[in-house]
Structure 1
Amino acid sequence: MDIGIDLGTTNSAVAVLNGVQTEVIKNNDGRETTPSAVWIDRRQRLWVGQTARDRAEVEPENTCLEFKLRMGTAGQDKKFTGGRTMSPEELSAEVLKSLRADAAARLGEVTAAVITVPAAFDLSACESTQRAAALAGLELTRLLQEPAAAAHAYGFQAIEENATWLVYDFGGGTFDAAVIRLRDGEFSVIGHRGDNLLGGKLLDWRIVDELLVPVAARQHRELAGLERGDPRWNGAIAKLKQAAETAKVRLSRSESAELCVELPDDRGRRFDFDHELTRAEVERLAEPLVSRSLNLCRKALEELGLGPGDLEKAIMAGGQTSMPYLRERIADPRHGLGIPLDFTHDPMTVVSRGAAIFAGGQPLPRDWGVSEAPAQGTYTVRCEYPRVSPDLDPVVVGQVTSPDGAPAAGMTVELSNEESDPPWRSGRLRLTDQGGFTSTLRAERGRQNTFHIALADGEGTVRAARPDRLAYTVGAVETEPMLTQSVGVGLADNHTRPLVERGARLPARRTVSLRTTVTVQQGTGGGLIRIPVLRGEQARSDRNPTIGRIEVGAAEVARTVPAGSEVRLTIEIDASQLVQVSAYVPLLDETYETEVSLLAEPELDRDRLVAAAEAERLRLAALRERQSTVESAVAGLLLQRIADEAVEEDLERLLAAGRTDAGAAAEADQRIRELRLQLDAVEEELAWPELVAEAESVVIAAQDLVAAHGSASDREDLPLLEREIAEAIEAREAASLRTRCERLRTYTTRVLDRAGALQPLFFAQLSQEQSTMRHPAQAARLIREGERARDAGEQERLRAINYQLQDLLPGPPPPLDLSSTVEST
């Protein structure tokens, strides 16, 4: 493939592989990076790059920045004052067009590229990136995760054969922590944690909100109402944001940076604002963001059972890693990670260089992009072999066809590399009757090996061949990429059924059998088969975002589909993390397909966000109060992390900015989701002692009941269920413990039922609910009949009466209390 592109939140870059060296292609301004910015001027001309970024201070209403963060999300279009509206993927397409043009000026026509995306990118955002590439005129694209790209740059010609690295990628808008394992010239991502909304832009906004705005209001009384999120101050806030970003970069090399900005108000008046920003101030504001990134790194390592001592180095990627404070915190063994840092490559361009290396090893599909037909009398040679691999002796399999398309039988082919030391030749290889041949090459490290192809007929006459050479490079390659977020379906009981789990190697294909819960009446409009496709690892469906769905209604079925009918769901995920889902209904012999292309979230309602944020704040306060009495060490640590990462403060700022900034509203929504999951974990920890006590009570009750009513085989099976509960307690898996307790309850209930003890016990429990039942007279009559059936030992009659009593309850019957059952027996 042609080029590698790092499509960044703040800046983008494009690179190409030349031999074993990468070259970052400079733009028309002579710079290696191009700002990811779009400006539409008053004449409706569109500008990309530095010119657009500079205009953001003057015309924020006609400029758009940081749109990468909104890829794959609905309701995030930019409305320019001239009437034009552009989606995030259309804006990204303009940046890709600019990078493609820069590459074409250097290389000629470019139609194929590898484009990097954050490893934490949603599946919908990946698909949106593919669409942006198509809009930019790139006919063939492959997506590559940014940490893997950085690993390509470092590992391509690495001399280490066995190593484990951490990629710490802190960019302008996203963060990825990926654990890379290098083994015998192959590397793979074996662990990952990331945050699509953790980047340098958050620090820029913290500088604006907490430092610059208050100082500006003090310097000029007329700016007292200056506030992010108030449309009157959009121009002034945009200027402060750009000034903060510029000063932050300067502070990487000095202890202070002077800001001088002219701030406009809503009446057209202008005020000179100056402030000396210090490195210490920025480091204080950066601390919660750095803490969040380090916590993600620790989580990625913990999931693999690794510690800092198991890693050889941490690879730095992303512009934020130039901050001295951040580097010191990562390297600090006590407060950071204690892993040696590697800055061999420029963090600003390492991802584009790695993408170029990956692109250089990707063969184009057969017959794709073939230009003119071969010259008359030319033989065509097709070779299958790895373009890049760690092997010094790769195998090439080829086939030669004659000018008329027939196999070139009876000929010979010879491969040679005169540039190697010593020169190498394969010797003449006789083609098979089908024109095929196989050869083992000999390659050298540190350069691209070029092998010439010499084709000769039976008399030894050399014939023209196309192509007449092949190239091969010895270098580390990535094995199958890893899925960074599980993909599953939501079930009717609000449980998630995983289909392709996090960590699976791509491409992947899974099929699962499901059952419908409603009847779809053909032709009546009644019923709907709805299969929501989810991403995430949460057991509760409502805790995972929906990325698509299959819906089959009455108008789409040829006959009635009763509840309980089988549906076979198949999901396919390719190496670029693009998803396709199909549902086959055997009863109809029909397949319903969908590409998971639904935008990640609907347009956000700010009032709903404010209410949701307030609910989580109250929940957080209640959990802090509960922790003060329970004093769970793990819950305390989780609550401290929430405080260290300043989640509440971030939410407050984002909600304020969300009044006018759709991007801030989307970030607020994401932060609320994350806080909700963090609080779920705290609740699990605080409830753990109670859950363990409940499990122990269930086990004791089961032992007594099985001893009193169970058979010999029941008594043999019980220890297996007890062991499952003990394992869940030892592993501290709350969800698993609840499931296994319920399994033991069900088992014990069946033992009681077989022994004839269940229905009398259940009847006794239902009798206690008589005062709450509807139709008191009918309830009293049934209870009298039940007493007679119980005394007569008529089990089935008593079962029927119990069912009728259940129907009179205002809600579902309470579960059978096994501990009280033990006492009564």
Structure 2
Amino acid sequence: MARTKIDYGIDLGTTNSAISRIDKGEVKIIKSLDTQKDTSPSCVAYNKKGSVLVGDAAYRSYRSDSLKSLAKNAPLNAFVEFKRTMGTDKTYHSTNISKDLTSEELSAEVLKRLKEYVSDENINAAVITVPAAFKNNQIDATRKAAKLAGFDHVEVLQEPVAASMAYGLDSKKKDGFWLVFDYGGGTFDAALLKVEEGIMKVIDTEGDNYLGGKNLDYAVVDQLIIPHIQKNYEIDGILSDDAKKAEYRGALKFFAEEIKNNLSFNSSHNIYVDPGDCGEDDNGEEIEIDLTVTQDQLKEVLAPVFQKAIDCAVTLLSRNNLQGSSLDSLILVGGPTLSPIVREMLEKQICKPDTSVDPMTVVSTGAALYASTVELSEEIKDQTRDKTKIQLEIGHEASTVETEEFVTVKILEDKTEGTIPEKVFAEIKRGDNAWASGKVEINTLGEVIDVQLTEGKTNVFDVTLYDDKGNLLECEPNSFNVIQGSVVGSATLPYNMGIEIQDINSGKVVFRTVPGLEKNKSLPAIGAINNLKTPRQIRPGMESDYLEISIFQGEHGAEGSRAIHNHHVNTIYITGNDFPALLPENTDVDITVNIDKSQKITGKAYFTAIDFEYDFECETVTDHVETAWLDNEFKKGLSSVNELKRKGISSEELDKAEKEIQEGKKLFESSKDDTDTKQQALSNLRKSLKVVDKLLGDREWPELEKELKEAFHNLEEINREKGNEQTTQIVNKIKPDVEQAIRDKDSKNTPQLIEIINHLAFELEKLEHAMGLIYSFDRDFDSIQWKDRNAARSLLNRGKQIIVENPSFDSLRPICADLLQNSGLTDDLDSTQNESAKGILRG
């Protein structure tokens, strides 16, 4: 029978993946072909013949390759944990196929293999889960992987939502607060749900995309295995080379997993590796490992890593004025939560976890349940219809807490090619044969039938059609499901969605949340931010004139922070080519942003002055972090901390931020060229820099007074040299505000006043640059090979007239840009600009 719902759910995990489906109302975990396990390693390998291996076979190859890389410095042709680099420019090189592979391509191979586990039908639609803390570029990368794997219809679902759906169906707890503690192979999510009469609603989330089982493994490698080797062998040469060290740590990770898994059930465990199987030390001596680890030793190593996740969960509870005792359920998700160490820590610090669900399969199970509620796209339905059968449209709630449900049944005449009798009767019968509707006449307009549900389970109903003589008629679909006992509310926004604007008062380029798109808003969501201003005029047909709408994701406390300290999704550029008429400077702009339930972003910009609307789709950009740039960002961060200390500022906040920056720098320096490490370090650094920025703004009055006087004196000097009548009026207008601030010792508003003064001084510097460029072109006019001499002369005359009458950078900039284009010369006109001179909207 052709399916009308997606029905298939996939947990695409960092370490392991799983696929489940709804079959006759029940969730069926589809086992791997080779090992008949519920989960399959998210591992891809290429053998010497160029064939691809996925799952357990690939993992065996990965272990073998890793040992060879230790012993013989052989290249790796097997890959794991690529989920952590989804959405980045990281590639994995296979010498066996002479190709660089992206994370999306490797994930696609895992998805293809999961599809192959389904032997009785071809599937081209699925619900695929992602961590709640995944950024938009990571979600888009997941969709791309699914497309490469041949899926035509993909819905994305947050992992904690999937887990709560699976848990909620069987749970007797239908009210209260639930905390999903999802510690996976590569990511951590905590999701807080409020449940009322079985209706579940995610009210807040917290997470870390770079905290998972991988961090536990490396903690064991770095603190137990490598120190053991260092006691007996000289390996400083290996550890001092970033590339060699990364390979070495990766190869030793298998032994960490062995220790971790065995100590879940035993008091101690010994690993022994023959001489040479772990390669040679710096002196050419074959390395032998003979290490016994106790549970207490393991706990000492793993507890700090687990603590980071528990701290996330506690922060989440505190933010919502809750404690562990307030929870009705603490649901565990992910392989690492099988560890007795984390379970004991959770019981002591939050509450006793509920162990009634399998943390390894609960996500794919919940994804399949959710998939049973999602209609297939019409395109896919049409591909699979048997139009010789009477086609039906069956409408109903997919899940409910009620014991009765209204179901509409309608004949789709335009989708049916066979004969439809004049009279058609439908009978709906529950799968347990304990309830039936009796025959009800239906037609193309639709009929409503009230069905009875069995509590606390997925109810399967069969639909049978008859003609007026009682003959059976074939129909499609001929069954449907209704989940009774729990309803999962919509997924929620994991971050504040906002745009980059230049604050009119301070001149700073900051993150502004789009009202309606705050963190934890239910999806789909729509938000709008109105009355923004264009920074300069945009001339129709001029590509050099542009506005930019930069979309960012921000965490708690992002509002008003520097935009660059948040995650950049993408920038929409609207150029003069897009406008039908001249757009004046300071035109009002209204921005509307739509985010669908899979977090795809679309929107529009409306320009009131010319009654023009520009629609846009926001594709995400691939993340790339330059090593040298990030190194410099850490230096700048520590420099800002030292500046605060020199000024006598001391606080718990500052000490914590300094410690976090130093820890992040240490992490970064441990593997500077590793994409995953850089992304993790940058994510943590941004959080700390927001705190430092805030503290830099909270300065003491004597220092602020000195800075204010110096800034205003500098402005007056620049204005005397480079200003005009208009700027002189502005300077004179600001002067009383400066004097008043000094009289009042106004430490609250003075930082903003300093920003305004510095911004104006900067504008005057830019004005001088533009004026100088025009005079330079005028002086050297005859020696320049103009593309259009007449146009150039006209531009210069207009520029000189503006300089004489009332010059401003915004009025001269387009003239300079056109002159540069006409001359064929290049000049970094923006070199003297900060963000305020770009096409950033002001608000």
TM-score of the aligned structures, taking structure 1 as reference length: 0.78
Q: Tell which deviates more after alignment, 76-85 or 223-232.
A: 223-232
Show the 5 A alignment for 1:674-823.
Answer: 674-680=687-693, 687=698, 773-774=716-717, 804=728, 807=731, 815-818=738-741, 820=743
Alignment partner of 2:31 out of 26, 29, 34: 26
Give the 3 Å change call, closer, same or farther, for CA 769–285 of structure 1 in structure 2.
closer
Alignment partner of 1:148 out of 141, 146, 161: 161
Verify: 1:124 aligned to 2:142, yes or no.
Answer: no
* CA–CA distance in structure 1, aligned partners of residues 742 and 675 of structure 2: 54
Partner residue in 2 for 1:174? 187
Verify: 1:515 aligned to 2:533, yes or no.
Answer: yes
* CA–CA distance in structure 1, aligned partners of residues 675 and 293 of structure 2: 29
Give the 3 Å change call, closer, same or farther, for CA 675–588 of structure 1 in structure 2.
same
Verify: 1:397 aligned to 2:408, yes or no.
Answer: yes
Give the 3 Å change call, closer, same or farther, for CA 445–323 of structure 1 in structure 2.
same
* CA–CA distance in structure 1, aligned partners of residues 646 and 345 of structure 2: 32
* CA–CA distance in structure 2, aligned partners of residues 177 and 674 of structure 1: 18
* CA–CA distance in structure 1, aligned partners of residues 383 and 40 of structure 2: 31
Contact preservation (8 Å) 1:486, 1:536: yes
Alignment partner of 1:99 out of 114, 118, 133: 114
Q: Tell which deviates more after alignment, 75-84 or 303-312.
A: 75-84
* CA–CA distance in structure 1, aligned partners of residues 552 and 524 of structure 2: 18
Alignment partner of 1:68 out of 83, 89, 101: 83
Partner residue in 2 for 1:616? 637
Matched residue of 1:495: which SS? strand
Partner residue in 2 for 1:436? 446
Contact preservation (8 Å) 1:3, 1:112: yes
Alignment partner of 1:314 out of 319, 326, 330: 330
Matched residue of 1:53: which SS? helix
Matched residue of 1:38: which SS? strand
1:155 alignment partner AA = G
Contact preservation (8 Å) 2:104, 2:144: yes
Give the 3 Å change call, closer, same or farther, for CA 306–774 of structure 1 in structure 2.
closer
Partner residue in 2 for 1:278? 294
1:531 alignment partner AA = I
Structure 2: which 5+ residue stretches go unaligned? 1-5, 70-74, 504-508, 747-843
* CA–CA distance in structure 1, aligned partners of residues 718 and 494 of structure 2: 56
1:183 alignment partner AA = E
Contact preservation (8 Å) 1:455, 1:465: yes
1:11 alignment partner AA = N
1:520 alignment partner AA = I
CA-to-aligned-CA distance 1:241-285 (integer Å, 9 cap, x gap): 222122222222223222233222499874222222333233222
Matched residue of 2:238: which SS? coil
Contact preservation (8 Å) 2:460, 2:479: yes
Q: Tell which deviates more after alignment, 800-809 or 486-495.
A: 800-809
Give the deviation of 1:121 after TM superposition: 0.4
Give the 3 Å change call, closer, same or farther, for CA 418–241 of structure 1 in structure 2.
closer
Alignment partner of 1:5 out of 5, 10, 14: 10
Partner residue in 1 for 2:271? 259
* CA–CA distance in structure 2, aligned partners of residues 408 and 419 of structure 1: 26
Partner residue in 2 for 1:498? 513
Q: Tell which deviates more after alignment, 535-544 or 175-184.
A: 535-544
Give the 3 Å change call, closer, same or farther, for CA 395–214 of structure 1 in structure 2.
same
Contact preservation (8 Å) 2:719, 2:728: no
Alignment partner of 1:324 out of 314, 320, 340: 340
Contact preservation (8 Å) 1:14, 1:99: yes
Partner residue in 1 for 2:19? 14
* CA–CA distance in structure 1, aligned partners of residues 714 and 278 of structure 2: 72
Matched residue of 1:817: which SS? helix
1:264 alignment partner AA = G
* CA–CA distance in structure 2, aligned partners of residues 767 and 606 of structure 1: 36
Partner residue in 1 for 2:353? 341
Matched residue of 1:394: which SS? strand
Partner residue in 2 for 1:552? 574
* CA–CA distance in structure 2, aligned partners of residues 512 and 162 of structure 1: 37
Partner residue in 1 for 2:438? 427
Partner residue in 1 for 2:200? 187
Contact preservation (8 Å) 1:550, 1:592: no
1:445 alignment partner AA = E
* CA–CA distance in structure 1, aligned partners of residues 524 and 703 of structure 2: 43
Contact preservation (8 Å) 1:655, 1:664: no
Partner residue in 2 for 1:791? none
Matched residue of 2:211: which SS? coil
Give the deviation of 1:806 after TM superposition: 5.3
Give the 3 Å change call, closer, same or farther, for CA 19–391 of structure 1 in structure 2.
farther
1:94 alignment partner AA = E
Contact preservation (8 Å) 1:557, 1:588: no
Partner residue in 1 for 2:487? 477
Give the deviation of 1:235 after TM superposition: 4.7
Partner residue in 2 for 1:750? none
2:22 alignment partner AA = L
Matched residue of 1:96: which SS? helix
1:293 alignment partner AA = A
Give the deviation of 1:548 after TM superposition: 0.9
* CA–CA distance in structure 2, aligned partners of residues 650 and 316 of structure 1: 28
Partner residue in 1 for 2:781? none
Give the 3 Å change call, closer, same or farther, for CA 95–405 of structure 1 in structure 2.
closer
Give the deviation of 1:126 after TM superposition: 0.8
Partner residue in 1 for 2:751? none
2:728 alignment partner AA = Q
Give the 3 Å change call, closer, same or farther, for CA 209–138 of structure 1 in structure 2.
same
1:574 alignment partner AA = D
Give the 3 Å change call, closer, same or farther, for CA 418–649 of structure 1 in structure 2.
closer
Verify: 1:204 aligned to 2:203, yes or no.
Answer: no
* CA–CA distance in structure 1, aligned partners of residues 92 and 711 of structure 2: 63
* CA–CA distance in structure 1, aligned partners of residues 228 and 614 of structure 2: 60
CA-to-aligned-CA distance 1:297-352 (integer Å, 9 cap, x gap): 122112222222211121111111122221111111xxx22x12111122122211
Contact preservation (8 Å) 1:96, 1:136: yes
Contact preservation (8 Å) 2:303, 2:341: no
Partner residue in 2 for 1:37? 43
Contact preservation (8 Å) 1:490, 1:531: yes
Give the 3 Å change call, closer, same or farther, for CA 406–496 of structure 1 in structure 2.
farther
Partner residue in 2 for 1:701? none
2:212 alignment partner AA = G
Partner residue in 1 for 2:262? 250
Q: Tell which deviates more after alignment, 435-444 or 461-470.
A: 461-470
Verify: 1:109 aligned to 2:142, yes or no.
Answer: no
CA-to-aligned-CA distance 1:475-518 (integer Å, 9 cap, x gap): 41211211110111110231322121111111112233332112
* CA–CA distance in structure 1, aligned partners of residues 612 and 742 of structure 2: 50
2:53 alignment partner AA = W
Q: CA RMSD in A?
A: 3.7
* CA–CA distance in structure 2, aligned partners of residues 442 and 363 of structure 1: 22
Matched residue of 2:502: which SS? coil
Partner residue in 2 for 1:135? 148
Partner residue in 2 for 1:230? 242
TM-score of the aligned structures, taking structure 2 as reference length: 0.76
* CA–CA distance in structure 2, aligned partners of residues 2 and 777 of structure 1: 73
Give the deviation of 1:43 after TM superposition: 2.8
Give the 3 Å change call, closer, same or farther, for CA 395–87 of structure 1 in structure 2.
same
